[in-house]
Amino acid sequence: MGSAALLRILEANPAWGLILQSGVTVACTVGVTLTTLLREGLGLSEEQLRPVDALLLDGMPVDEPKSVVVPDGARLALAAGLPGIAGLAMKSGSAVKALRSGITHTGLGEPDPRPGTIVLSLYSLVLPLLASHFLQRGIVVEAVQLLRYARFAPDDQCVLGKKALRVKDLLPLLAKTPSNARFLLTINALCHK
């Protein structure tokens, strides 16, 4: 995954949760089934997973998470309550899944657990439910993503490396940083002001 500067937000504005829509890198064990990845690799409990009704791996809906092996670098999207017929069709195990049979993930591959990363995105009703979980665990983001969301939370307190500052003080630093520079972002608490 390479090196990433450490950035910790002490008590974050809810806008930081939106960064998870753009796709963030998460270190985990790959080469395992999607069920194993969700529960063990990402630390999600049965209660946290209950509202998730759409699992998309590399853009393909997953109906059988126990048989789909997640490769290194995979893109995983979690969603709930997607609107319309398209949302209904994308739900895992949907009654109208036949409409998407050509794009459904088939679960090919044998488990081969190893360290790796995935790109995780949260959408719809899942975002407010799981944002805090992932932000507290830590996600890897690029400078351009931080710059986009830092503007919504200028007064949040943060620690970059070992230096304490306000998020607004990060803005000039981020503007000078290459857009693909990486940061390990953690948040102590996501407040809901």
Span 85-90, average pLDDT: 62
pLDDT at 94 over 70: no
Query: Does residue 2 have a pLDDT over 70?
Result: no
Please, which residues bridge with residue 20 across strands?
A: none
Chain segment 97-122, per-residue pLDDT in tens: 555 556 556 676 789 999 999 999 99
Q: How big is the CA angle at 175 (ends 174 and 176), to the nearest 5 degrees?
A: 90
User: What is the rounded CA–CA span in Å between residue 20 and residue 179?
Assistant: 17
Q: How many domains does the chain have?
A: 1
Count of C-beta atoms within a 10 Å radius of residue 1: 12
- Is a pLDDT exceeding 90 seen at residue 92? no
- The one-letter amino acid code at 83 reads P
Q: Which residues of 162-176 are buried (b: 16+ CB within 10 A; e: fewer)?
A: eeeeebeebeeebee
Domain with 68, as residue range(s), is 5-190
